[in-house]
Structure 1
Amino acid sequence: MAQEQFTISAMRIAFFGGTFDPPHRGHLAIAQAAADRLRLDRVLFAPVGNQPLKHDSSVASFEDRIAMVQLAIGGDARFQVSIIDAPRHDDLPNYTIDSICRLKESLKPDDQLFCLVGADSFLGLPHWHRAAELLTACDFIVASRPRFDFQDAQAMLPQGVRICGDALYEPGLSVVPISNHSGQSSTLYFLPDLREEASATEVRAALASHGASNDAVPPPVAEYIRAHHLYQ
C-alpha cells in the first residue's frame, strides 16, 4: 500500500506591531479588514517593548498590554499575540526591521509575510530605522483613516524606494508594486475605505475621564483595565 503524502500549505501571515496601549476596536477593525481582503491565515499582534520614535510612549506595562491584547483578539481564530517585540535586555529600541527579519527566519520558505500598519504609521515610515530596507523586506498592508489620500504614494516612500509599475485597483484594495535601488521588490496593499477614527491617546483620555466603560475597547479589555486600575 502506497504511503500517503501530506503537504502543508503555505501560510499568509501579517505582523501587526504597535503599542496597543490599550488595544481598541480600531486595531481589531484594521486586522479584520486585512485578514479578510488579503486572505490571511494569521495576524500577529505584537506589542512593542520600546518604541523608537516615541519617548515614554507606553502608559501600561508590557505585561499588561500583552494580557489586554490576548483578551481583545479572543474572538477571531486568525489572530495571535506575539512577544517578538518584547523589551530588549539592553534597553535599546525595538526596530521593526529586526522583528521582520527574525520572523522570516522562523517561517517556511513558501510562507508569505506582510507588515500591517495604519495610515499614520505609514506616513512616518521614512523616519523608521532602515526604512528602505524594511519596505522591501516584506509586503506591506496599509490601512486608511478618514480623509487619508493614497493617490500620491511615491511622496510617502523613503529615499531609495520607488513605484516600479502600474497600480491595480479592485474593490476595497489598491495594489502598488515598489522596488529599491538594488532591485529588491515588494508590494504595498492599501485598504482605502476604513472608517475607524479611534486612537489610543483618545481612548486613554476617555478612560481616565469616564472609567473603563468606554465603548472603544472590547468588554474583556475594559474589565481588565478596571480590575488593574489602568489609565485612571
Structure 2
Amino acid sequence: MRILLYGGSFDPPHNGHMNNLRAAAARVKPDKVVVMPAGVSPFKRGTCASGALRIEMCRCFSALAEEQAVPALEVSGWEVEQAERGRRNYTVLTLEMLAAEYPGAALYLAIGSDMLLTFDGWHRWQDILKLAHLVVTSRNIGDDPVLHEKAKRLDAAGARILFAPVEALPMASSDLRARLAAGERCENELPPLVRRVIQREGLYRENKGDNNHEPETGKGACAQPLE
C-alpha cells in the first residue's frame, strides 16, 4: 500500500496546492492520500485561520478525487488536535504515526521546492528520509538544476527523493492573504469552497487597528503558536 502525505499550513489552501498534489499523486500513484493541515508549523509564527477552519477549507482537495486525479483522500485533523493538546508537532512525528497506523505501507511525503532547499534544517530530517520518500514539486519556473543538486547532497544514493513534473503556478498563501485583506476576491487562485469559507467567516480582513475591538479568537484573528 502506498500512502501520500501532503501537509502544510494551508492558510488558505489555493490552486497551487491543488496543482502540486495532483502532480505528486500522478508521480507515485498512491492508494491513499492524506492531507494534513499543520497545527502550528515549526517554521511559521502562527496561522491566521483556526485549525478547524483550515481543515474545512482543505476539503477542497476532495475535488481531485472527484476528477480521479487521486484515489481515496482523507483530510486529517491529527496535527491540529496535537496543537490543541499543547503539543508542538513535527513532520517526523506525523510520519511515525502513519507508519504505526499502516504497518508495512510505503510512505511518501509531497513537498514544494522551497521546502527541499531547507530540508536539512527540519527536525530529524534523516529519520524523515528513512520513513518516507520525498516527492518534490517545483514552485518556481527554472529551479530544477538547483533542486537536483540539493537532492544529491541530501540523498547521495538517489533512492529517497523523487521529482514530480509539474507546470509551476507561482503563488503563495501569504501573498493571497495580503490581496484578500486589500479587498481582492482571488477567484483565479482560490477554489470555490475556500472562497465560501473565507467570505462566511470574514477571514484575512485587514486589521483595523485600535478601532477593531474584536476578540483575538474571533473572525479574522491569527492563531499564535503554543509556547
**TM-score, with length taken from structure 2:** 0.79
Letter in 2 for 1:116: A
1:42 maps to 2:32: yes
Picking from 19, 30, 54, the partner of 1:65 is: 54
2:79 is matched with which residue? 85
- Contact 2:116/2:147 (<8 A) preserved: no
Q: Please give the alpha-carbon distance, in whole angstroms, between the structure 1 residues aligned to 2:84 and 2:196.
A: 31
Report 1 or 2 for greater relative contact order, CA contacts < 8 Å, sequence distance ≥ 6.
Answer: 2
Q: How does 1:78-227 map to 2 (within 5 A)?
A: 78=71, 79-86=73-80, 87-89=82-84, 91-109=86-104, 111-145=105-139, 146-150=141-145, 153-155=148-150, 161-164=154-157, 176-177=158-159, 187-227=160-200
Higher normalized helix content (fraction of residues): 2
The CA deviation at 1:231 is: 0.6
2:63 is matched with which residue? 75
Larger Rg: 1
Higher normalized strand content (fraction of residues): 1
Unaligned 5+ runs, structure 2 = 66-70, 206-227
- Contact 1:50/1:92 (<8 A) preserved: no
CA deviations on 1:133-181 (whole Å, 9 max, x unpaired) are 21221111011121212466354577xx5412xxxxxxxxxxx32xxxx
Structure 1 residues 130 and 157 mapped into 2: Cα distance closer, same or farther (>3 Å)?
farther
Tell me the SS of whatever aligns to 1:36. helix
1:51 is matched with which residue? 41
Structure 1 residues 213 and 35 mapped into 2: Cα distance closer, same or farther (>3 Å)?
same
Tell me the SS of whatever aligns to 2:190. coil
- Contact 1:28/1:73 (<8 A) preserved: yes
**Number of residue pairs the alignment of both structures matches:** 197
**TM-score, with length taken from structure 1:** 0.78
1:231 maps to 2:204: yes
Letter in 2 for 1:135: L
